[in-house]
Amino acid sequence: MAPRVRGQIGGTAQVAVATMVMNLAMYGFTVSAARLLGPTAYGGFFAVVNLMLIVGVLQLGLQATAARRISSDPAHVEQIEREILRVSFRAALLLAALLLAAAPVVTVLLDLESPGTALLAALAAVPLTMSGAQAGILQGERRWRELAVLYVLMGVPRLLAGLALVLWRPTELTAFAGVAVGFAAAYLYGRHALRHGRRPGAGHARHAFLPLVRETTRSSQALLAFLALSNADMLLARAVLDPAESGLYAAGLLVSRAVLFLPQFVVVVAFPSMSSEDGAERALVISLGAVVGVGLLCTAATAMLADLALLFAGGAAYAEVRDVLWIFALLGTATSVVQLLVYSALARPGGRSVHLVWAALTVMVLATTAVGTVTEMLLVVLAVDVSLAVVLVATRPRASRTPAGSPSRP
């Protein structure tokens, strides 16, 4: 087996384990916080966590930009690393300043117990955002071990520090402080991993500060579109279904989210290859096969072990949704495919994928106004995701024939 193939397999395993540990740690802390805080404090904590999910779109945009640039033009890695860290630092400060200014409004809108929670969220945006650039550099250079450690530090310190703080004082502020510890731990490790001094290498205008800002903005917009599409169905279900039906739909979505998150490591490992001129198409085909394969296995397991799957969807109280849990698993598979294709589009700029995602969201909003049951809602959302995946594949820009390191097509 070639060393590069062995390295890819080893990197895939490391990132897969790390993302699993990260997600389990985050999930464990969220569930523990729900039990320890009580409804009022947990509601505020959960609202701020979801705010950071939106804020984190910039982090993901920086990661995608750094990984794509380094993978597609390794001759200028020194310049790209230097400039993307500059972009992340200034973006983090700007975002923190905006959140600090908006802290009184956030406190009122989210009905928080203390303005300190909103202020802490503003400060936490700094390490969260900067760690995105660090992760992108590690990802683009295929330094899988360091990237895996960074992912683990996003979750495990949150669980350990968060539980300790909540047990000491069960408030929304202490609970979110645990989340902030995770952001800070990942950022500090990222600084350590990138501490090596690089000689100033050859530079190019396309990797200067402003082009990186523009690409980060485009990437963040595309990922925001995917985030909106993949989370809109829960809000729509709440609006168009009666409370009991929307509760059943929310329970089923726990299965969808599990299937969505399970193959995320595939996107992380495949993205640098999809960004390079050599083997981009092959990387996408293999990645699609892996994501679809994992999803279909989960769907089959959900269908055959429906009672066990029901335990993960809330238990006997949600038994009415038992027989359609396998369709929720299929929805998670379709959403995973859309996520991979969005990242594939970011790896090869030049298409109109972001507009297609926003258009799909519009279609979903309009189509769900006529539904009245969980099954109808589920089938409409599934149809939108599958249709979007087909259109994204059909309209995907093909790999250019320009030499590696040449400017991307406009």
- Within a domain: 399: no
Residue 378 and residue 368: Cα distance in Å, rounded?
9
Q: How many domains does the chain have?
A: 2
168 and 274 share one domain: no
Q: Closest by alpha carbon to 232, among 338, 74, 79? A: 338
- Within a domain: 199: yes
Position 373, amino acid: T
152 and 231 share one domain: no
160 and 46 share one domain: yes
179 and 253 share one domain: no
Structure-block tokens of residue 240: 């168009």
Angle at 58 (CA atoms; ends 52, 60), nearest 5 degrees: 95
347 and 334 share one domain: yes
184 and 276 share one domain: no
- Within a domain: 72: yes
186 and 293 share one domain: no
- The domain boundary, picked from 158, 190, 207, lies at 207
| Parent domain of 107 | 3-207
- The domain boundary, picked from 185, 207, 229, lies at 207
Phi-psi region of 373 (alpha: psi -120 to 50; beta: other; left: phi over 0): beta
- Within a domain: 401: no
Strand spans (E) along 267-401: none
- Within a domain: 130: yes
| 162 in Cβ contact with 29 (< 8 Å) | yes
Structure-block tokens of residue 44: 């505020």
181 and 216 share one domain: no
Q: What is the pLDDT of residue 404?
A: 37
Q: What is the pLDDT along the chain (410 residues), one digit of tens a residue?
A: 555 556 566 777 899 999 999 989 998 898 888 888 887 888 888 889 989 999 999 999 999 999 999 988 888 888 899 999 999 999 999 999 999 999 999 999 888 888 999 999 999 999 999 999 999 999 999 999 999 999 999 999 999 999 999 999 999 999 999 999 999 999 999 999 998 755 555 566 677 788 899 999 999 999 999 999 998 998 888 888 888 888 888 888 888 988 998 898 999 999 998 887 777 889 999 999 999 999 999 999 999 999 988 887 778 888 898 999 999 999 999 999 999 999 998 887 665 778 899 999 999 999 998 888 999 999 999 999 999 999 999 887 665 444 333 433 32
- The domain boundary, picked from 207, 228, 248, lies at 207
Q: What tens digit of pLDDT does each residue of 19-48 get?
A: 999 989 998 898 888 888 887 888 888 889
131 and 67 share one domain: yes
Name, in order, each residue with C-beta under 8 angstroms of 156's C-beta and a sequence gap of 6 or more. 21, 22, 25, 182
- Within a domain: 409: no
Q: What is the pTM of this model?
A: 0.87
- Within a domain: 113: yes
139 and 272 share one domain: no
DSSP string of 119-139, one letter each residue:
HHHHHHHHHHHHHHHHHHHHH
First to last CA, the chain: 38
157 and 53 share one domain: yes
- Within a domain: 128: yes
78 and 195 share one domain: yes
